[in-house]
Chain A
């Protein structure tokens, strides 16, 4: 259908006509029209569908036709003034004025609100009146637009304008700083745009086309991005006005939309759409209640935010999913906590930038920042899960450390770094998000040292009479395993598999005690992913295009299978998949369970045992086993790929694999 509509311009109109006759929603309409300007004859119907007012009936029936608002005269004057500009004949003017005044008066009475001069209502109504529809429909549309699309904090100093500033800071920090320095707050030039959805500044054809797009899109935050484009578009002109009086700059800015022509609307809107895609979305959910639900002016958090906030949920989901859309937001997570906190648990994708460095060794800090930027570049080039253009900073979530985090973030903003955001609630919020099992998602998570777990952990430890309580159960188990098994397992592993570097396994992190300069060599696409640190050239999540589906039980009966271990495959981004690790005489095979089909699995990968060059276990999590594949290159190993699993029976699994490898080696020798 879409293809035909593109070929023949009239077909989509027919589709639209048919859709209007049936039950349909704004989404259906957007699917048919793709934001195009609507045919004049269908506009009023489409707007009513998009704004969901078709069943509202005639609310004006309840109007008692008494015009006794406290400022009724003022309202009448305004109506007359605006209508006289329209240039209709006199008789028509009088009827328009009376409709305008009725609708606004009734609205004031219904909602028990005051009419204020210049609140944008008259401007908002005029485009609706051009539809030549009955006053009751005008009223319904007006009411719906005000409720859905005009932000509540839409007065000078309101929250809506703080958000707009944060968006400008996110996309164009230099321009934002220029305007901040001139003390030009966003409300000074955007207020009328927001109040009237641009109706007060654009010509009628532009407004109508824009609203066609707007209502189809039905995104209440679209006004923010339209305004953002308007300002960013004017950037060169504004910055060149540096020596001119502030009033002049404000005037130039607020008149920007007047230059817009009807033909530009499509491009203008799709550009705004593009910026919307390139912006983290969690600020919307966090603020939607606030701006559109009448509970305005309470949230000081918005007006006090240093930069755009990002929620833990968005960060975690963003890292997990690969949308394939190259324009979409991808985060590069910068963990600013002190090194000891970082070492007690962090996301696998986090880059560590110790904020104390900024205070103690400013030159080392700037080296570290350079390292960060080049690591980011490298991660982007590798298409790694840790790579992203959007810097998301993470603090601890506690005031005493976060003052340093804020300082680091501010230093990036002052350098006009684009796409800077701060994780709301910091590490504590992140930890709480994984409340069932933080150790599963956080690397190196140590309940004894983690700022969230430690108080609980120590409490439980001191309470010797009670057995492990529920919350400490998992920690208890891990630490017990750690003590008994960890050393043993590791020794074995290291003995079994020859480590050509013969280097002891050590923790790696960036800290102020490391030597500068050496620190960022061999930066892998994902940071601190492993205990050891060898020259991993390309660790990418290569997934085969076509997957082979198999019956698990049938497969296991195959005589080739030496041993099989239920396990979970752990991806670099922390995601885990229920899998089966199958050892045959020659290969290591990974089957991944298909979530909705019991007993069915995908064959993820088949690795020849001969390709395994290294098997390692995490010091703190002996169940987390990493297989590395590659070829020896002189004294070094070139690692080409790796898999990582959480295997409950890890000890046995590594033993079986190692035995098979040894067997193979022996066979070759004979």
Chain B
């Protein structure tokens, strides 16, 4: 399928906060309670529509364990958006946010949009981190904030799509240099002015878009 833009995302946060479950819920619309620990990095993709434009999200789900940190770090570079996830039922995952944020800021490009996610909102009875605390942290560090549940799918769509909207707005404002792929944004085949030979290059809705992806 053709797309106007491709955005590269990365999902980060402590081990066991539900990063892989969020991705699975977003890409496959299902929840898998028992999930193998992510080794290194996994990858998922989905198409969304913003402003009647097709946008392909390419999402990198990283392993939360310290053991894979040097591998996961290499994925920050070239990401346009990051979902920083903690578990509202485990205080320590919230406490580690600063470390994650420092790491992300240090290794990514400065325009990367970061969305703070408090996951497992369905487990209200076991809550250890108040929603207000999450909001305060996000405000303090200039992040967008949302509580989600990968299990019930609450706010999952919104989390991914709102991040995309924010990136899209930044593109409109000219903040992102879309010709530099290191920013995690790629123009779709039918938008590329340098590639007029491709089918569907006329900028129409791309109904006969080339390629098999």
Binding site for B on A (CB under 8 A): 162, 177, 180-181, 183, 300, 303-304, 306, 358-364, 399, 402-403, 406-407, 409-411, 413-414
| Given A181-B36, A304-B67, A360-B213: A399 touches B74 (CB 8 Å cut-off) | yes
Of all chain A residues, the one with the shortest Cβ separation from B15 is A183
Q: How near does chain A come to B148, taking the closest CB pair, in angstroms?
A: 22
**Known: A181-B35, A403-B74. Contact between A409 and B68, CB under 8 A?**
no
Chain A hits for B45, CB < 8 A: 362
Binary interface encoding of chain B residues 33-73 relative to chain A, with 1 for a CB under 8 A from any of its CBs, else 0: 01111111111010000000000001010000001111100
One of B40, B41, B58, B67 near A303 (C-beta < 8 A): B67
Chain A: minimal CB distance from B144 (Å): 26
Known contacts A181-B35, A359-B58, A362-B45; A304 and B68 CB within 8 A of each other: yes
Determine whether the beta carbon of B41 is less than 8 Å from that of A407. Answer: yes
Q: List residues 1-56 of chain B with CB under 8 A from any CB of chain A.
A: 15-16, 34-43, 45
Query: Of the candidates A183, A306, A362, A411, which one forms a contact with B71 in the assembled complex, judged by CB atoms under 8 Å apart?
Result: A306
> Given the complex of chains A and B, what is the CA–CA distance between A354 and B102 in angstroms?
33
Shortest CB–CB separation between residue A92 and chain B, in angstroms? 48
Across-interface contacts of A304 in B (CB, < 8 A) = 67-71
Residue of B nearest to A363 (CB): B212
- Residue tally, chain B, CB below 8 Å to A: 24
The residues of B that contact A362 with a CB separation of less than 8 Å are 45
Residues of A close to B75: CB separation below 8 A: 403
Smallest Cβ-Cβ distance to B66: which chain A residue: A303
Cross-chain contact B70 with A406 (CB below 8 angstroms): no
Choose from A361, A403, A410 the contact partner of B39 (Cβ within 8 Å).
A410
Q: How far is the CB of A174 from chain B (nearest CB, A)?
A: 9
Q: How far is the CB of B189 from chain A (nearest CB, A)?
A: 11
Please report the number of residue pairs spanning A and B whose Cβ atoms sit closer than 8 angstroms.
61
Question: How far in angstroms is the closest Cβ of chain B from A512?
Answer: 10
* Contact A361-B212, Cβ < 8 Å, known A304-B68, A306-B68, A407-B43: yes
Contacting residue for A406 out of B37, B40, B69, CB 8 A: B40
| Known interface pairs A358-B43, A359-B58, A364-B212; A162-B36 also in contact (CB < 8 Å) | no
Decide: A359 and B36 in contact? CB cutoff 8 A.
no
Pairs A-B, 6 closest by C-beta atoms: A410-B40, A180-B37, A304-B70, A403-B74, A181-B37, A413-B39
A-B contact pairs, 11 of them (CB 8 A): A304-B69, A306-B39, A359-B58, A363-B212, A403-B41, A406-B41, A406-B71, A407-B43, A407-B60, A410-B41, A411-B42
A301 to chain B: closest residue by CB: B70
Residue interface bits B140-184, CB-to-A below 8 A is 1, else 0: 000000000000000000000000000000000000000000000
Mostly, the B contact residues are: loop
- In the bound complex, do residue A300 and residue B70 qualify as a contact, i.e. CB atoms below 8 Å apart? yes
Residues of B within 8 A of A (CB): 15-16, 34-43, 45, 58, 60, 67-71, 74-75, 212-213
The answer to whether B213 touches A407 (Cβ under 8 A) is no
Query: Measured between alpha carbons, how far is A181 from B20 in the docked complex, in Å?
Result: 13
Distance (Å) between the CB of A309 and the closest chain B CB?
Answer: 13
Contact indicator B212/A306 (Cβ below 8 Å):
no
Bound CA span A486–B22, Å: 57
A414→B63 CA distance, assembly (Å): 12
Closest residue to B67 on the A side, CB-wise?
A303
In addition to A181-B36, A364-B212, A402-B74, 6 A-B residue pairs with Cβ atoms within 8 Å of each other are A162-B67, A181-B37, A304-B67, A304-B68, A306-B68, A362-B45
Partner of B37 from the list A162, A177, A364, A411 (CB cut-off 8 Å) is A177
Question: What is the bound-complex CA distance between A403 and B40, given in angstroms?
Answer: 10
Beta-carbon nearest neighbor of B43 in chain A: A407
C-alpha spacing A363/B1, complex, angstroms: 13
What's the minimum C-beta distance from B27 to chain A, rounded to whole angstroms? Answer: 11
Please give, as numbers and ranges, the residues of chain A lying within 8 Å of B71 by CB-CB distance: 304, 306, 403, 406
The answer to whether B74 touches A407 (Cβ under 8 A) is no
**What separation, in Å, do the CA atoms of A364 and B211 have in the docked complex?**
12
With A and B bound together, what is the CA distance between A181 and B45 in angstroms? 24
* A300-B70, A306-B71, A362-B45 known; A413-B40 Cβ under 8 A: yes
B34 CB contacts on chain A under 8 angstroms? 181
The chain B residue with its CB closest to the CB of A181 is B37
Instruction: Give chain B nearest CB distance to A219 CB in angstroms.
Output: 27
Q: In the complex, how many angstroms separate the beta carbon of A424 from the nearest chain B beta carbon?
A: 14
In the bound complex, CA of A584 to CA of B138 (Å): 84
Measured between beta carbons, the chain A residues less than 8 angstroms from B58 are 359
Chain A's closest residue to B212 (CB) is A361
Instruction: Chain B residues near A363: list those with CB within 8 A.
Output: 212
CA distance A181 to B75 in the complex (A): 23
Q: Given the complex, which residues of B lie within 8 Å of A180, measured CB to CB?
A: 36-37, 39
* Residues of chain A with a CB closer than 8 A to B213's CB: 360-361
B107 CB to nearest A CB, Å: 11
Q: Which residue of B lies closest to A174 (CB)?
A: B36
State the CA gap A409–B42 with chains docked (Å): 10
CA distance A618 to B58 in the complex (A): 41
In the complex, which of the residues A358, A362, A403 has the most CB atoms of chain B within 10 Å of its own CB atom?
A: A403
CA distance A410 to B67 in the complex (A): 14
Instruction: Report B45 CB to chain A, min CB distance, Å.
Output: 7
- Which residues of chain A come closer than 8 Å to B212, judged between CB atoms? 361, 363-364
Chain B residue contacts of A403, Cβ below 8 A: 41, 71, 74-75
Query: Residue of A at shortest CB range from B40?
Result: A410
* Complex contacts, A402 vs chain B, CB 8 Å: 74
Residues in A neighbouring B35, C-beta threshold 8 A: 181
Q: Are B40 and A409 in contact (CB under 8 A)?
A: yes
